[in-house]
Amino acid sequence: MFFHNINSILVIKLRHIGDVLLTYPVFTNLRVSFPHARIYALVNKGTEEMITGHPDIDEILTIDKKDKNFIKRNFFFPIEIRKKNFDLTIDLTSGDRSAIISFLSNAEHRISYDPEKKGIAFKKYFYSHIFKNLHSKHTVTKNLNLLTLAGINSHNIDVFFHIPEKDTFFIDNILRDRGISEKDKLVHIHPTSRWLFKCWDEKNWITLIEYLLLSNFKICVTCSPSGEEINIINNILYKFRRNDKIINLAGKITLKQLGAVSKKAVFFTGVDTAPMHIAAAVKTPVIALFGAGVNQWRPYGDGHFVLYKPHNYSDNPSREEKIKRNLGNISPFDVISIIKENFQ
């Protein structure tokens, strides 16, 4: 191990919801290596639910990018960080904000992957140790590899999502009230993404839902509170609006409650989103539809299925357009084939 006499550690991940969830085993391994240290996480506000309940995190700090006083907050925040006397910072983001916070923390040891000339010039000098990035590896592997390179334990590779009892109880009550019992085959469908170009065609979801209903599955549909996403769900479910085998919880539940839905399901299906990672983390089989980024973002763990059908396009489309077309290459019958072979 490179580091000794470590009493306080800050792990920085200023990214999106799914990214934060996939840091879970970093904290588990840090506790093994530094059993008496206080371990902090710094994440964007709105993503902290991904790691609340982690037994090896002493405190979660957040930055709110939507705060009206964001500039003032960013100016004084490093001062607050400095007061905590961190001995070690682990920057899993390698962004400008995280690099500055790491540097101004005054921690003796500040580790990160090489930012590779992205962002602020000379940013790599903000760290005491930088390591070569693993661009093509899964995000969990990449996170843990940074610990390995720094001589820190990285043997625990499990990702979990902690669900409070009250949220499990809340979802249990909804399912019971809708007549769904433990004997029913419940499917969790999350058709949308915050990036709408990552959404599968609505007609494909309709075809898949028709098959699931004919096969005696019951269905719970979710999405974020975003108006655009809710409109997509309403379009998909309009044909089934009187079907009591479908529960529409679009925009109505928290992330912890969404995890409780996944945990009750025989499988989850959706596009490349944070809910996909949550389902995998609660050990529910996932059927994931990808338009790009499979190696880095596939559902983590065993027992999952990934559909990805890329093509070489002669007209050189944008990344967004390429993702949309790749998703369009996936047929509802590709998903149905997986269901027939594994869940019926």
Helix locations, the chain, DSSP H: 17-21, 24-33, 70-82, 96-104, 139-149, 165-177, 202-214, 227-237, 255-264, 274-281, 294-297, 319-328, 332-342
Task: Report the amino acid identity of residue 45.
Answer: K
- Inter-axis angle of helices 255-264 and 274-281, nearest 10: 50
For the record, the structure tokens of 33 come out as 């290596």
Angle at 21 between CA 92 and CA 128, to 5 degrees: 15
Residue from 187, 154, 171 nearest 285 by CA: 187
pLDDT recorded at residue 256: 98
pLDDT recorded at residue 65: 74
pLDDT recorded at residue 85: 94
What is the CB-side half-sphere exposure of residue 75 using CA atoms within 13 A? Answer: 4
pLDDT recorded at residue 249: 98
Angle at 253 between CA 299 and CA 161, to 5 degrees: 35
Low-confidence ranges of the chain (pLDDT < 50): none
pLDDT recorded at residue 73: 62
Residue 27 CB partners (closer than 8 Å, separation 6+): 11, 39, 41, 51, 54, 56, 57
- What the chain holds in terms of domains, given with CATH numbers, is 8-149 (3.40.50.2000), 165-342 (3.40.50.2000)
Q: Which long-range contacts (CB under 8 A, 24 or more apart) does 284-290 make?
A: 284/188, 285/342, 285/343, 287/335, 287/338, 287/339, 289/200, 289/327, 289/330, 289/335, 290/326, 290/327
d(CA 305, CA 342): 10
In DSSP terms, which residues pair with 88 in a beta bridge? 9, 109
In DSSP terms, which residues pair with 91 in a beta bridge? 12, 112
- 337 secondary structure, DSSP code: H
